[in-house]
C-alpha cells in the first residue's frame, strides 16, 4: 500500500469516529434532559445485573430459539471486533496481518474462530430474516412495527450478512495469495471456512486477486464505520446501551412503585396540624425539578426512562406478553418505548435547531404520541418488565403519565374518580361505611 492509502484510511477513521462521537454526545445530552434519579446505590448488584443480563444474555434465552441465535450474533460481534483492531493497525501502518508473527498458533486459532462465528452469524441472521419476513411472528408484524422500525430491523440483517461475507471473502482471497507459488502474502492464520471459498480465485492473475482483496478489505472496514454511525438512528443502539441500561435498571421489587417526594411533602403538611404553611415552603432553587406531578412529556420522565427508550430493541417481547395487548386493547408497551424515543429525538432536534434551548412546539408525549386510552388499559401486571431482555420498564412511564392525567388534569375515567372518592370518604374503594368494616365477623 502506498502512503496515500494510509492517509486516506486515517481520515476515514477520524471522520467515522468523529461522527460517532457527535452522536454519542447528543444521546447523552438528550438522556440528561430527564429528571434526576439516584441509581448509584448497590454497585455490586448492578454489576451483577449487567454481567448476567447484558453480557450473559440470561433473559434472552427465555425464548430459546431467538436467544441462542442472538448469542451467535452477539458473540460474533464482540469477537470480530478484536479482528478490527488488527485491521485498523494494518491500515494505519500499511502492514499485513501484523499480529500473526507475535501470536503464532494463537493467531491461527483466533482467525479460525472468527470464521466459524462469521458463518454462525450468517446462519442466525438468515433465520432472523425468515422469522421477520416469512414466518411473520406476531410480534414482528404488529401494527406498531411498520415503516422505518420494520425496515430498520431488516437493514441491519442485510448489513450484518454483507459484512460477514466481505470478511470471509477477504480471508479467502488472502489465503489464495498466501498459497500461490511464490506467496504474495506471508502465511498466517487458519481458514476453516474461507478455504472453501478460496478456489473461486483460481485462474485469476495475482494482480487481480490483490485488487479484489484490497476491495474486500476496504469495503469491510468502511462498512463497519457506516454500521457504527447508523446505530444512532436505529434500534441497534442496544448493542451499546444494553450495558448501561442493565446497570442502571431498577433493583427494587417490581411491585414497588416510587413514592413521589413532592407529594410526600405536601401530604405531610396537610396532615400535620402544627405545620406552619409558610415556614415549610421549599427554598427557591432554579435547578429544582418543576413542580409538576407525573409526566406529560419526555423532560418530565427521569433519565433512566429516557435511557430505556434509546435502549429498546423493539423486539416486542413486552407487547407479546401484555394482557391488555393480547386482548386487543390499544396498549403496546413496545409502542410506549418507541414513542418516548421518537419524542425525545424530536425534542433533541428542536434543541439543536434553536441554539441549545428547547422552544415549545405545542406537542407533547401525551396525546401527540401516547393516548390516554393506551395508558388506562394497563393492569400494572409487570409482565412487560419481566419479559424485557434488557430490563426496560414501560410500566414506569405508563404510571408517570397516569399520574399526570390524574393529578394535573383530573382526567381519570369517571368510574375511577368514583373509586377514589370512595377511598377518600369511606376508606374503601366501594361505598361502604368504615364503621362496617368488621361486620363480616358476625355474618354467616
Partner 1 sequence: MSESLVVPTMAEMLAEGKQPEVLFWVGCAGSFDDRAKKITKAFVRILNRTNVSFAVLGTEESCTGDPAKRAGNEFLFQMQAMMNIEVLNAYEAKKIVTACPHCFNTLKNEYPELGGNYEVIHHTEFLKSLIDDGRLTVEGGQFKGKKITFHDPCYLGRANKVYEAPRDLIQKLDVELVEMKRSKANGLCCGAGGAQMFKDAEPGNKEVNVLRTEDALEVKPDIIAAGCPFCNTMLTDGIKHEHKEGEVKVMDVAELIANAQDL
Q: Which of residues 354-373 bind partner 1 (CB under 8 A)?
A: 373
Q: Does 251 contact partner 1 by CB under 8 A?
A: no
Phi first, then psi: give them for residue 370, nearest 5 degrees: -110, 130
Q: Does 313 contact ligand SF4 by CB under 6 A?
A: yes
C-alpha distances (whole Å) from 55 to each of 48, 220, 246 are: 10, 26, 10
Shortest Cβ distance from residue 370 to ligand SF4 (Å)?
12
Give every CB contact of residue 144 below 8 A, 6+ residues apart in sequence.
319, 332, 334, 335, 338
| C-beta atoms surrounding 175 within 10 Å | 23
Shortest Cβ distance from residue 293 to ligand SF4 (Å)?
20
What are 75's three cell numbers?
A: 458473540
C-alpha distances (whole Å) from 327 to each of 36, 90, 347, 412 are: 36, 57, 33, 22
User: Concatenated DSSP letters for 344-371?
Assistant: HHHHHHHHHHTTTSPPP-S--IIIIIB-
Binding partner at 130 among partner 1, ligand SF4, none, C-beta below 5 to 8 Å by kind: none
Q: Within 13 Å, how many C-alpha atoms sit on residue 97's CB side? A: 19
Q: Does 392 contact ligand SF4 by CB under 6 A?
A: yes
Phi first, then psi: give them for residue 282, nearest 5 degrees: -65, 150
Stretch that binds ligand SF4, among 24-32, 104-112, 291-299, 380-388 (CB under 6 A): 380-388
For the chain, the straight-line distance linking the first and the last C-alpha, in angstroms and rounded, comes to 95
Binding partner at 337 among ligand SF4, partner 1, none, C-beta below 5 to 8 Å by kind: ligand SF4
Question: Which CB atom, from 144 or from 174, has the smaller least distance to partner 1?
Answer: 144
Tell me, by CB under 8 A, how many residues bind partner 1. 68
Of the residues 43, 44, 203, 271, which one makes contact with partner 1 according to CB under 8 A: 271
SS3 302: strand
Of the residues 124, 224, 322, 370, which one makes contact with ligand SF4 according to CB under 6 A: 322
Binding site for ligand SF4 (CB under 6 A): 312-318, 322-324, 331, 333-334, 337, 378-384, 387-388, 390, 392, 394-395, 398
Binding site for partner 1 (CB under 8 A): 252-257, 259-260, 263-264, 266-268, 270-271, 293-294, 321, 323-324, 326-331, 373, 376-383, 385-386, 399, 402-407, 412-413, 415-416, 418-420, 423-424, 427-430, 432, 434-443
Amino acid at each position: 500500500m502506498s502512503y496515500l492509502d494510509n492517509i486516506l484510511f486515517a481520515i476515514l477513521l477520524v471522520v467515522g469516529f468523529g461522527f460517532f462521537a457527535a452522536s454519542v454526545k447528543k444521546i447523552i445530552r438528550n438522556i440528561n434532559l430527564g429528571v434526576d434519579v439516584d441509581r448509584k446505590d448497590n454497585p455490586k448488584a448492578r454489576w451483577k445485573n449487567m454481567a448476567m443480563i447484558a453480557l450473559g444474555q440470561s433473559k434472552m434465552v427465555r425464548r430459546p430459539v431467538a436467544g441462542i441465535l442472538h448469542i451467535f450474533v452477539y458473540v460474533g460481534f464482540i469477537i470480530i471486533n478484536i479482528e478490527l483492531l488488527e485491521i485498523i493497525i494494518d491500515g494505519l501502518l500499511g502492514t499485513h496481518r501484523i499480529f500473526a508473527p507475535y501470536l503464532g498458533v494463537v493467531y491461527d486459532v483466533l482467525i479460525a474462530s472468527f470464521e466459524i462465528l462469521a458463518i454462525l452469524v450468517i446462519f442466525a441472521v438468515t433465520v432472523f430474516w425468515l422469522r421477520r419476513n416469512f414466518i411473520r411472528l406476531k410480534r414482528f408484524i404488529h401494527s406498531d412495527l411498520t415503516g422505518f422500525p420494520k425496515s430498520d430491523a431488516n437493514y441491519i440483517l442485510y448489513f450484518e450478512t454483507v459484512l460477514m461475507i466481505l470478511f470471509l471473502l477477504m480471508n479467502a482471497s488472502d489465503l489464495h495469495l498466501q498459497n500461490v507459488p511464490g506467496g504474495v502474502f506471508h502465511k498466517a492464520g487458519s481458514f476453516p471456512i474461507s478455504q472453501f471459498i478460496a478456489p473461486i480465485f483460481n485462474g485469476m492473475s495475482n494482480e487481480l486477486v490483490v485488487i479484489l482483496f484490497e476491495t474486500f478489505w476496504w469495503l469491510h472496514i468502511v462498512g463497519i464505520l457506516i454500521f457504527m454511525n447508523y446505530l444512532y438512528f436505529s434500534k441497534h443502539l442496544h448493542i451499546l446501551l444494553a450495558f448501561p441500561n442493565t446497570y442502571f435498571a431498577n433493583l427494587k421489587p417490581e411491585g414497588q412503585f416510587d413514592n413521589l417526594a413532592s407529594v410526600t411533602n405536601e401530604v405531610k403538611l396537610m396532615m400535620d396540624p402544627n405545620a406552619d404553611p409558610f415556614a415549610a415552603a421549599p427554598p427557591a432553587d432554579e435547578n429544582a425539578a418543576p413542580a409538576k406531578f407525573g409526566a406529560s412529556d419526555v423532560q418530565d420522565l427521569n433519565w433512566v426512562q429516557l435511557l430505556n427508550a434509546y435502549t429498546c430493541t423493539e423486539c416486542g417481547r413486552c407487547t407479546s406478553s401484555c394482557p391488555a395487548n393480547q386482548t386487543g386493547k390499544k396498549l403496546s408497551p413496545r409502542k410506549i418505548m418507541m414513542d418516548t424515543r421518537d419524542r425525545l429525538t424530536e425534542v433533541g432536534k428542536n434543541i439543536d435547531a434553536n441554539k441549545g434551548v428547547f422552544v415549545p412546539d405545542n406537542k407533547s408525549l401525551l396525546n401527540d404520541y401516547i393516548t390516554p386510552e393506551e395508558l388506562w388499559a394497563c393492569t400494572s401486571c409487570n409482565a412487560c418488565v419481566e419479559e424485557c431482555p434488557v430490563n426496560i420498564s414501560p410500566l414506569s412511564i405508563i404510571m408517570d403519565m397516569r399520574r399526570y392525567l390524574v393529578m394535573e388534569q383530573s382526567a381519570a375515567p369517571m368510574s375511577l374518580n368514583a373509586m377514589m372518592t370512595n377511598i377518600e370518604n369511606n376508606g374503601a374503594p366501594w361505598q361502604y361505611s368504615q364503621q362496617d368494616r368488621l361486620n363480616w365477623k358476625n355474618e354467616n
